[in-house]
Structure 1
Amino acid sequence: MPAYGFEVYKREDGTAQLRQNPRQADVIREIASRLLAEGGPETPAEIADDLNGRKEPTPRGARPSKRIADSGRTYKWTAAGIRKMLKSEALMGWKMESRPVSGKKYYVTVPVVDKTGSKIRMAEPIFTDEEWRTLQARLSERSFPVSPPRHVTPFLDVVRCGYCKGKMRMHVSRRKTKSGRSEYPKFRCVSPRTAGGKTQYGCKEQVSWEPDRLLAALELHLMKQFGDVEAQERIYVVGANHGIRIREIEDLVSAIKADTEPGRRYGTALARLQAEEMLGKLDTEYKSLSEASTVDRWEYRSVGKTWRQMWKASATPELETLLRENGVRFLCYREHFELFSPERLKM
């Protein structure tokens, strides 16, 4: 599947080649020129709105699959889509391939190189080398780091709405007062629901609590139920493979039993006692190895402190992880709270 801006065609000898798609290449050059315009450059979002207003087909919309075409689904230009398209080296005619990102579920597209380490050009580039460098520099200038949120919800995976069991997030209302701008944080249910044909956030009960009161109640319930219980963390254990040693023991047992016959190593009464002792030890080891789990599994192991000690000494992220891994949920209702915890945590 060629990148947007290119198309496949067959030459007279039947070989498939890659060449620029005139209309798509013009759209790409137009977008670049508008981003690079001196004095009044446009933003990717402004350009996307204009292209959508003109009903210009997007890269995916220009070549929809049969399934998408049959569904009637349409696509729109977006600022992120424009930036991603203009950063792809496919626009310079290079042969590209998708590679998985370690530990992730998505792929990155990178140029293919030959044995000499050189990129392979499949078609005439849409930009000159100088135009490409200028465009990439401008795109980098217009990249802004995303600031971390000021109000991070503590115990996000632990605190839940008692009615819908959905998550509750920290929501901050801001109002100007005579003394200046003030903030009013609250935990609110954020489960999505449809009302009047629109998506709204927060179940019908609209549960909300002030953070100080909710967190104080969480601590009170935790300490009351299992504050003096030894805290445990969840550990992933790789199953042991004792197959080699088990086969060794089986061979040893057979050999020792054979040597207990008259005239063999353990053929005398005294030597036979030694053989029986050896066989007993091997039998015990064999049973132990046979009963050992060979399956990868999760296990809970003590951290060496009680929950009360952990609560006083640990940071919120560590406590949240510990509570989540132990299956603890703190349910919030309009008038009360309820702590859900597994039986093994209860005193």
Structure 2
Amino acid sequence: MPAYGFEAYKGEDGVAYLRQNPRQVNVIREIVNRLLAEDTPETPAEIADELNSRKEPTPRGTRPSKRITDSGREYKWTAAGIRKMLKSEALLGWKMESRPVLGKKYYESVPVIDKTGKKIRMAEPIFTDEEWERLQAHLSERSFLVSSPTNATPFLDVILCGYCKGKMRMHVSRRETKNGRKEYPKFRCVSPRLVGGRTRYGCEDQVSWDPGRLLVALEHRFLEEFGDTEAEERIYVVGEDHETRMREIEQFVPVIMADMEPGRRYGTALMRPRAEKMLDKLNAEYEALSKAPTGDRWEYRSLGKTWRQHWKTARLPELEKLMRKNGVQFLCYPESFELFIPERLKV
């Protein structure tokens, strides 16, 4: 079976070949663009949720097994599935094979090597070498084991260290006292740095804050400035190519106008108004298509509430996600805070 992003076809010589599947390539490109967005990149989990919400077929869902179909179940996009797909060199058009992993019970997909020691390319690559290296570097930076934290950090991607712009995590110190165990929670900068050949966490300026004071300050500063502003959600829109339809209209119009000459199809008093209506409709459609955006883009959709209303009704994970997607950052210094808001929200 061809890898996701490719499809088999039969050439004029009767031999089967591989080529890119335009729809699937667009989905792959969309995922990568959202992962590598410079302002507010999304996580694989967030992208998977959005793809599932719009019923985008998964790599397995494009060719479901009879057992799955009969059971009524559906394949779902997952963060792990997206990472696995983007790490596969099949996206570069190489011929792949499955090999057992030594000492394991599973297989891995690797490129086939010919007798000369070179990989065999079966189709045009979806990514250039530079794009592939950047993507793999991004995925490698975020390859780590995640354990369930006992101290969940609120607003993890919103509250940042003002000096190094690194994340601030909730750290809880526990001490045994005569009256029992006491906890001392603090928000701390956790940016890694090398000290004497060993890794230490926290930048040199080592910012730390009491959680209660920090969260109250975030709420007060943000709502004071933007509480009455309408809250919006940023969504990724896959662009459409209107050139084909515009070329069709350009070809239709001269034909219709020629048919309006006396003795032709629309050359009578009865048929001419019908032709004029057709021309008006085609002209309006052409004008609309010429002004419509074509490339992939981010758009903002109103949530029908102000930020203050949303703050009171939304759950914390939803509020965190919305603020992060809007590019909101709350920078912490030893004696002060700084609220960073993108220019778009300031309008």
TM-score norm. by structure 2 comes to: 0.57
Gap runs ≥5 in structure 2? 1-79, 89-96, 102-145
Distance 1:239 1:219 in 2: 36
Aligned partner of 2:325: which letter? Answer: E
Q: CA deviation at 1:192?
A: 1.8
In the TM superposition, 1:79-118 aligns within 5 A as: 102-105=81-84
In the TM superposition, 1:26-37 aligns within 5 A as: none
- The structure-2 alpha-carbon separation of the partners of 1:234 and 1:266, relative to structure 1 and needing over 3 Å to count, comes to same
In the TM superposition, 1:132-151 aligns within 5 A as: 148-151=148-151
Task: Determine if contact 1:175/1:183 at 8 Å carries over to the other structure.
Answer: yes
SS in 2 for 1:300: strand
Equivalent in the alignment of 1:221: 221
Equivalent in the alignment of 1:155: 155
Q: CA deviation at 1:277?
A: 3.9
- 1:331 maps to 2:331: yes
SS in 2 for 1:220: helix
Equivalent in the alignment of 1:304: 304
Equivalent in the alignment of 1:79: none
In the TM superposition, 1:1-347 aligns within 5 A as: 102-105=81-84, 148-268=148-268, 271-272=271-272, 274-346=274-346
CA shift digits 1:265-324 (9 cap, x unpaired) = 332467545533432221111121122222222211111111111111111111111011
CA root-mean-square deviation: 2.7
Greater mean deviation of Cα atoms: 163-172 or 268-277: 268-277
Distance 2:98 2:172 in 1: 40
Distance 2:224 2:292 in 1: 37
Aligned partner of 1:279: which letter? Answer: L
SS in 2 for 1:151: coil
Equivalent in the alignment of 1:81: none
Greater mean deviation of Cα atoms: 284-293 or 146-155: 146-155
Q: CA deviation at 1:256?
A: 0.9
Aligned partner of 2:196: which letter? Answer: G
Task: Determine if contact 1:170/1:185 at 8 Å carries over to the other structure.
Answer: yes
SS in 2 for 1:335: coil
TM-score norm. by structure 1 comes to: 0.57
Distance 1:252 1:180 in 2: 85
Alignment length, in residue pairs?
216
Gap runs ≥5 in structure 1? 1-100, 113-145
SS in 1 for 2:83: coil
Distance 1:103 1:229 in 2: 35
Task: Determine if contact 1:236/1:298 at 8 Å carries over to the other structure.
Answer: yes
SS in 2 for 1:102: helix
SS in 2 for 1:219: helix
Task: Determine if contact 1:234/1:326 at 8 Å carries over to the other structure.
Answer: yes
SS in 2 for 1:103: helix
Distance 2:155 2:204 in 1: 23
Distance 1:264 1:147 in 2: 77
SS in 2 for 1:214: helix
Q: CA deviation at 1:243?
A: 4.3
Task: Determine if contact 1:225/1:346 at 8 Å carries over to the other structure.
Answer: no
Distance 2:334 2:267 in 1: 83
SS in 1 for 2:81: coil
Q: CA deviation at 1:252?
A: 2.5
Equivalent in the alignment of 2:120: none
Aligned partner of 1:103: which letter? Answer: I
Aligned partner of 2:336: which letter? Answer: H
SS in 2 for 1:183: strand
Identical positions, percent: 66
Distance 1:297 1:317 in 2: 25
Q: CA deviation at 1:160?
A: 0.5
Equivalent in the alignment of 2:137: none
- The structure-2 alpha-carbon separation of the partners of 1:196 and 1:110, relative to structure 1 and needing over 3 Å to count, comes to closer
Distance 2:342 2:250 in 1: 42
CA shift digits 1:111-137 (9 cap, x unpaired) = 59xxxxxxxxxxxxxxxxxxxxxxxxx
Distance 1:219 1:179 in 2: 33
Distance 1:245 1:175 in 2: 71
Aligned partner of 2:309: which letter? Answer: Q
Aligned partner of 2:250: which letter? Answer: E
Aligned partner of 2:193: which letter? Answer: R
Distance 2:200 2:316 in 1: 30
